[in-house]
């Protein structure tokens, strides 16, 4: 018999990027009680807060769900690690800390797909600004005084400065701000840090909320399913059933239950509850509650093609961290001034450009790093080098997420279908060629760059399409698996107010609701979604 965890006005499943924001906003109203449930633990692991600590958080069971994708034909049969934060702060505790909104056209497209003009760029911009605390202060495009701190990086690299100059020589202009609606250009990324420390959503949004007597937080809680009640008006979500410390619990929501478990977790919980494709539910012996074929479909992600180049005559992290003396020097610099390589985001320099003239806005994003390694988790190479990763920002391929069993502790099957369309393969080949053009520009020639990943022997379009499958890997931006859409969209899971179709008392508020992926990193758009949802939830309550 399940024990009662109590009754609350709202239950939020997932204390990640969205869940922390919604919990904070709702509990600013002092008459609202909220239960925030998190499967992971507290964000008290030292390496969460030291920026370079992402190296020790990704694929670590203390902080990461440690998902893996199914073997992918587009990646020449490879399976990838698929990191998602399993800790307070969610993926904002293990991600690259890059502050990126995307492009104005992204949100205008959402408005067209949903028929709801409130998703247009000029409507969501005030929400980005609301939570923002920009180090340069406020202006027409940036906010100040909000919870979400945005700072410039606390280091620079000669080789990255040269890459930026080479990009300019190749037709990609320099920019100092990627977040004004048009992110074309090349420059250093701004990051979600505070004085050289990672600034995750648990610190940003829950610090004050935690002191309110109306918010309860339970960690180490694995949600088994949603609690559904059948009424004359159809199914209604009345809470959640979960396991904590080996005991079964049930918590009841008087107003709404809010799924904020992310692009993997939210569709998984819906499917476990019989909300999703009916055939999938029946396959696993789960009673069908609501037939919603789009749950788990429409998975989109940014595939990065990691090209690496040996260099001469410039420092890279490979050589700086290649000795105990170098490591001690790096550690001392960070301890004294919170600067240097330990303060750095995984990618420091970015660039946005077009793969061809037919693209109305940039459809490629570069993440450039003063380091190289064979794959994540392996040691840095023993020679100086840099990596230039390039992503197709608007892939046409779609994957899906489906439960593997009725057991909530079993990881779902993640099928990405990278490079499964001719358009995506063509853009991948073009992107590799463009990277070579930048590296061949005069500004980099003093460093004698030598391509060793994938290697200059691949030259034809067919060869480049094939080798893209060897060097491609996720850059950790899964979205879209509970997409919002208009009433005539058969795959829409939620409406434009993020209410689950066919179930009352239930919303999804996270990156899974994106109908189309944003043109850039996805964490801060998720925070904007949460800000918007909180406004709607409070308006509905009033």
Find all residues with CB under 8 Å of 418, minimum gap 6, and list them. 72, 74, 75, 301, 303, 395, 397, 399, 424, 469, 472
Tokens of 309: 């180049």
Tokens of 404: 């593997």
- Of the candidates 80, 72, 518, the one whose C-alpha atom is nearest the C-alpha of residue 300 is 518
Q: Which member of 134, 302, 400, 477 is catalytic?
A: 477
Tokens of 539: 């308006």
Tokens of 506: 């239930």
Main-chain dihedrals φ then ψ at residue 192, nearest 5 degrees: -90, 85
DSSP string over 42-93:
-S--HHHHSGGGHHHHTT-TTTB--EEBPPBGGGTTB--EE--B-BTTGGGG
Q: Is 24 a catalytic residue?
A: no
Strands 275-276 and 290-291: parallel
Main-chain dihedrals φ then ψ at residue 39, nearest 5 degrees: -70, -30
- Any idea of the CA torsion for 8, 11, 16, 21, to the nearest 10 degrees? -60
Cβ distance 266 to 260 under 8 Å? yes
Within 10 angstroms of residue 320's Cβ, the number of other Cβ atoms is 19
The residue with tokens 């969501």 is 124
Radius of gyration of the chain (CA): 23
Cα separation, 373 vs 45, in Å, equals 25
CA atoms within 13 A on the CB side of 400: 13
DSSP string over 339-370:
-SGGG--S--EEEEE-SSTT-SS--EEEEEES
**Catalytic (active-site) positions:** 477
């Amino acid at each position: 018999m399940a024990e009662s965890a109590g009754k609350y006005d709202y239950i939020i499943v997932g204390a990640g990027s969205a869940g922390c924001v919604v919990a904070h906003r709702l509990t600013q109203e002092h008459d609202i009680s909220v239960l925030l449930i998190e499967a992971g633990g507290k964000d008290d692991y030292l390496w969460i807060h030291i920026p370079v600590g992402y190296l020790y958080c990704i694929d670590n069971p203390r902080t990461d769900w440690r998902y893996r994708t199914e073997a992918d034909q587009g990646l020449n049969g490879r399976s990838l690690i698929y990191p998602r934060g399993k800790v307070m702060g969610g993926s904002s505790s293990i991600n690259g800390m890059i502050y990126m909104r995307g492009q104005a056209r992204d949100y205008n497209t959402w408005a067209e797909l949903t028929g709801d003009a409130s998703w247009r760029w000029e409507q969501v911009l005030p929400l980005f600004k609301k939570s923002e605390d920009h180090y340069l202060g406020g202006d027409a495009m940036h906010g100040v005084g909000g919870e979400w701190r945005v700072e410039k990086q606390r280091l620079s690299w000669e080789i990255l400065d040269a890459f930026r100059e080479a990009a300019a020589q190749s037709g990609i202009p320099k920019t100092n701000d990627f977040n004004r609606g048009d992110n074309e250009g090349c420059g250093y990324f701004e990051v979600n840090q505070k004085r050289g420390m990672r600034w995750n959503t648990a610190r940003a949004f829950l610090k004050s909320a935690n002191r309110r007597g109306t918010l309860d937080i339970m960690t180490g809680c694995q949600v088994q399913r949603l609690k559904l009640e059948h009424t004359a008006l159809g199914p209604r979500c009345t809470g959640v059933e979960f396991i904590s410390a080996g005991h079964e619990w049930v918590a009841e929501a008087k107003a709404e239950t809010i799924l904020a478990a992310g692009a993997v977790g939210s569709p998984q919980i819906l499917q476990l509850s019989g909300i999703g494709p009916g055939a999938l539910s029946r396959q696993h012996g789960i009673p069908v509650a609501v037939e919603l074929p789009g749950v788990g479909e429409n998975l989109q992600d940014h595939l990065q093609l990691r090209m690496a180049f040996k260099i001469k005559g410039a420092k890279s992290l490979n050589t700086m961290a290649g000795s105990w003396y170098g490591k001690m020097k790096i550690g001392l610099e960070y301890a004294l001034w919170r600067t240097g390589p330990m303060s750095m985001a995984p990618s420091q320099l970015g660039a946005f450009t077009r793969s061809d003239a037919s693209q109305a806005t940039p459809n490629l994003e570069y993440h450039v790093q003063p380091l190289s390694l064979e794959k994540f988790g392996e040691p840095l190479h023993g020679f100086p080098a840099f990596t230039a990763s390039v992503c197709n920002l608007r892939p046409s391929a779609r994957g899906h997420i489906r439960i593997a069993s009725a057991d909530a502790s079993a990881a779902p099957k993640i099928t990405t279908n990278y490079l499964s369309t001719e358009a995506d393969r063509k853009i991948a080949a073009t992107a590799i060629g463009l990277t070579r053009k930048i590296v061949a520009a005069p500004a980099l020639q003093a460093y004698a760059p030598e391509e060793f990943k994938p290697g200059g022997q691949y030259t034809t379009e067919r060869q480049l399409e094939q080798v893209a499958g060897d060097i491609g890997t996720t850059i950790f931006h899964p979205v879209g698996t509970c997409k919002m859409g208009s009433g005539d969209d058969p795959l829409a899971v939620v409406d434009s107010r993020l209410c689950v179709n066919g179930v009352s008392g239930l919303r999804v508020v996270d990156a899974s609701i994106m109908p189309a992926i944003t043109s850039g990193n996805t964490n801060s758009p998720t925070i904007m979604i949460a800000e918007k949802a909180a406004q709607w939830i409070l308006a509905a309550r009033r």
